[in-house]
Structure 1
Amino acid sequence: MASNLILRKFMTHFIKILFAIFISSVLLACSSTNQVVKNDGGNSRYAAEFKDALTAMQAGDIESAKTALIAITEKAPNYSGPWTNLGIISAGQRQYDQAENYFYQALKCQERNTVAMNWLGYLSSVKNDFSAASNWYSRAIAIDPKYAEAHLNLAMLYEANLNRPKAALDHYRIYQTQTGGKNTLVSAWIRNLEESMNYVATNSEVVR
């Protein structure tokens, strides 16, 4: 009976992780545009056009945003922000190879573009290249230790795919600290992970 209960708790937690990976990718597509502007060196000549493209993107007018962003890249190919947002759009449309190309182009323009790194981590996860995903998230965090979304993505990767529960817990806690602890779902994951780790530790001591 106890083993069945533990199994049900594990499966419930795992399903939540899979759901959150999908949700977090969608939220990143909506929220990371401001970070792109912040991380990018910018090109004041096309700032107004870029702002209009972001407005269209946030309003859900993806095709108009895509057309506008492509036009900017043709006029200002060294402007990292438009490439990054084209990558986000392509990732949202599951055009993963195209998205990856856009993000790499963004990094050529701005090597410290942490949003592009975070998304490359996500795309690596989609390809089941979890080592590469970990490296991309870690690179983004090394540049911007307060990048909450990268901490969350790395935590989920550690827990769901790399069997590193303690490291996952550390990054979940950092995410909560950076976001004011408002995410009740992540709070629940932290509690579940703490309980699971305590259970394993207790039972390993019994076995000894």
Structure 2
Amino acid sequence: MDRYPVLLASRLLVLLLMAGLAGCASNAPAPEETAPVYRPEQSKQWAQEGRQALEAGHREVALTAWQKSLAANPANATVRNNLALLLKEQKRFDEAARLLQAGLAVTPEVPDLHYNLAVISELYLLDLDTALEHYRQYQALADDDSQNVAGWIADLERRLQ
């Protein structure tokens, strides 16, 4: 019988500690709420390391370097595009598409991001609506008037009817 108060007290102490820790955790800003730290010079260095690693055939090293570069400068559309293409090569299609979509939220005027999102959406994710939307965006933004893209748009429009 004298163990019951000790058990009760220890359970109460654990609950209070957990509540206190939960309260501390809830006061901390969520990772996505914290402002990104832009480090353009470091981003350029990691981008270069990624390019060199890819040229040397070290895809995982390139992937890591480009992820760091993008974290340091989310508006670097070239690094984002290269990283998405590397993810596509690794058959990580959903991740590549999310990466491109996030890039378009930051730099919506970059035609290559629209083009690669359209290709990944159409050929690998079978998301024809998204593909059509981004082929159209690409066509509106691209300097060249590619007949291929116009043909792909017409084909998708037929398939979606």
Which TM-score bucket, shorter chain as reference? 0.5 to 0.7
Q: Count residues in correspondence.
A: 124
1:148 aligns with 2:111: yes
Check conservation: 1:152, 1:171, Cα contact below 8 A.
yes
Match runs of 1:17-36 below 5 Å: none
Q: How many angstroms does 1:161 deviate by?
A: 1.0
AA aligned to 1:140 is: G
Q: How many angstroms does 1:163 deviate by?
A: 1.2
Check conservation: 1:181, 1:187, Cα contact below 8 A.
no
Q: Deviations over 1:116-138 (max 9, x none)?
A: 22222112211211111111001
Match runs of 1:133-172 below 5 Å: 133-172=96-135
AA aligned to 2:87 is: S
Q: Deviations over 1:117-171 (max 9, x none)?
A: 2222112211211111111001110101111101000000110011111110110
43, 46, 54: which is aligned to 1:83? 46
Q: How many angstroms does 1:41 deviate by?
A: 6.5
Check conservation: 2:74, 2:106, Cα contact below 8 A.
no
Check conservation: 2:75, 2:107, Cα contact below 8 A.
no
1:112 paired residue number? 75
Match runs of 1:51-62 below 5 Å: none
Q: TM-score, normalised by structure 1?
A: 0.53
- Give the percent of matched residue pairs that are identical in Structure 1 and Structure 2: 25
2:95 paired residue number? 132
Check conservation: 2:42, 2:72, Cα contact below 8 A.
yes
Structure 2 gaps, min length 5: 1-37
Check conservation: 2:50, 2:65, Cα contact below 8 A.
yes
122, 146, 150: which is aligned to 1:183? 146
Q: Deviations over 1:22-80 (max 9, x none)?
A: xxxxxxxxxxxxxxxxxx965xxxxxxxxxxxxxxxxxxxxxxxxxxxxxxxxxxx432
- 1: CA distance, partners of 2:129 / 2:112: 18
Q: TM-score, normalised by structure 2?
A: 0.67
Q: How many angstroms does 1:192 deviate by?
A: 1.9
Check conservation: 1:159, 1:168, Cα contact below 8 A.
yes
